[in-house]
Structure 1
Amino acid sequence: MGTITRRDPPPTMTTRTSLRPTGMTRASARPSSGRWAWGWGSGGAGGAGPGSEQLPPQVFLVLTLQLSVTLSTVAVFTFVTEVKGFVLENVWTYYVSYAVFFISLIVLSCCGDFRRKHPWNLVALSILTISLSYMVGMIASFYDTEAVIMAVGITTTVCFTVVIFSMQTRYDFTSCMGVLLVSMVVLIVFAILCIFIRNRILEIVYASLGALLFTCFLAVDTQLLLGNKQLSLSPEEYVFAALNLYTDIINIFLYILTIIGRAKE
């Protein structure tokens, strides 16, 4: 990839949207055929059963577009030497994009009415996606091409497997929200520790725990869409649902990339 000097990547920021949005409700013990407006299996007791569930089309479409933008950005930042050289010399742009991302994340997470108002919810989600894609692409530019390709492949395999498993299993991952929230706090403390103690093994352990935690979050968010577990999301929250799945997948990718990058050092 040319003669670009290798530097440490900017710190990866663990991000997670609100765990209990306005549109999240406890699932009824009896099936509700009108729970979702897209006509897919309602599940629950007496429903179509876990095996017939599928992701709602709106969420799937939005998530696909988000991941396509991010993957394209990562490819440009990884394979185009001029772009890679620019971002390595202008690390400040990472923090600008992070500020834009953080503001849009707060708006989408905390403003329920705005999040459900079309088309402004999609505009805010687009801004968030572009800013986060720039951040991910910039982080990827600090790693060699082989590590990035491996991380993309592993992330794709892991996420596909988790989503399929979450749709098929009868185990209710949404009941583990409290445990995952506590684990998130522990992970943040671990991240602060890694800032002051620069150790390769410690960073690999931290990244491994982060990848595992967000894999669990991916399972939870997938089941929130299905609506046949303890907690569920209303159809109006398709932007919030896509946002949760998107940030889960991105975090998994970044943690796996960190593991591969540190292991190769």
Structure 2
Amino acid sequence: ATGLTGNEPDELSGISDKVVRHGFVKKVYSILFVQLTVTTLIAGLITRSGDDMAKSDPNTVTMLLFFSMAVVVSMGFVFCCCPDTMRRSPLNYALLSVFTVAEAVMVGFTCLQYTQESVLVTLGITAAVVLSLTLFTFQTKYDFSGLAPYMFVLVTVMCGLGFVLMIGSMLGLHGEAWKAMNLVYAALGALVFSAYLVVDTQMI
């Protein structure tokens, strides 16, 4: 009886679209997982072995930090201005690998400017909320995609505040108040980028 309704193509199309969408989201999150793993490993290695370098040769650390930042920004411009490069395999994987390694190096040397407590707080909060936020995004009926412009403003503010804290740490500012500011910044950073994860997932 259902064969006379003529709704089968639409229903199959809906099912097909849903399968394709879920497959795409799985691929995106698989790539993200690999990026986070590489970033954690490289940043952890730099954090563990870079303290001596930071104390004995801070100029080299600063140079490597800004070089990695320049690579990350340059790759960002390539992705934005030449979107076709991200559709050509294996060029897209090569560019993404360069971006991931450069970002991991940047994160590692940036971590040297902060206390271990703030880094651990950021890692713990992010790890705890990413899974729950991902599940929430897949299940929720609320639409957060319209918050993207506001999230961009928050990220810009966070980047500016992070730069100020980095300069302060390089100038040798210490104390309980400074440590508290780093912890607050770590918590806010984890919160903002976790919210970004919800927005980006829904936009997918």
Normalised to the residue count of structure 2, the TM-score between the two structures is 0.70
- Equivalent position to 1:133, from 104, 115, 127: 104
Q: Which amino acid aligns with 1:100?
A: V
Of 118-127 and 186-195, deviating more is: 186-195
Q: Does 1:108 align with 2:79?
A: yes
Q: CA deviation at 1:181?
A: 3.5
Of 194-203 and 132-141, deviating more is: 194-203
Q: Does 1:175 align with 2:154?
A: no
The answer to whether the 8 A contact 1:77-1:137 is kept is: yes
Q: How many correspondences in the alignment?
A: 180
Instruction: Please show how residues 223-242 of structure 1 align to structure 2 within 5 Å.
Output: 223-225=202-204
Matches of 2:159 and 2:147, distance apart in 1: 19
Q: Does 1:86 align with 2:80?
A: no
Q: CA deviation at 1:214?
A: 2.2
Note the residue ranges of structure 1 that are not aligned, 5 or more in a row.
1-30, 43-52, 226-265
1:159–1:128 CA distance, 2 compared to 1 (3 A): same
> What residue number does 2:127 align with?
156
Q: Does 1:64 align with 2:33?
A: yes
> What fraction of aligned residue pairs are identical, expressed as a percent?
28
Deviation per residue, 1:124-153 (Å, 9 max, x gap): 111010001001111223445454344322
Matches of 1:145 and 1:203, distance apart in 2: 10
CA-based RMSD of the aligned residues comes to 3.3
Note the residue ranges of structure 2 that are not aligned, 5 or more in a row.
1-12
Which secondary structure does the structure 2 equivalent of 1:56 belong to? helix
Deviation per residue, 1:27-70 (Å, 9 max, x gap): xxxx844446xx35x5xxxxxxxxxx687332222112211111
Normalised to the residue count of structure 1, the TM-score between the two structures is 0.56
The answer to whether the 8 A contact 1:187-1:210 is kept is: yes
The answer to whether the 8 A contact 1:87-1:93 is kept is: no
Q: Which amino acid aligns with 1:76?
A: L
Matches of 1:156 and 1:56, distance apart in 2: 19
Q: Does 1:122 align with 2:93?
A: yes
Matches of 1:76 and 1:189, distance apart in 2: 26
Higher relative CO (Cα under 8 Å, sequence separation at least 6) belongs to 1
Instruction: Please show how residues 199-218 of structure 1 align to structure 2 within 5 Å.
Output: 200=178, 208-218=187-197
Decide which structure has the larger Cα Rg and report it. Answer: 2
Q: Which amino acid aligns with 1:218?
A: L
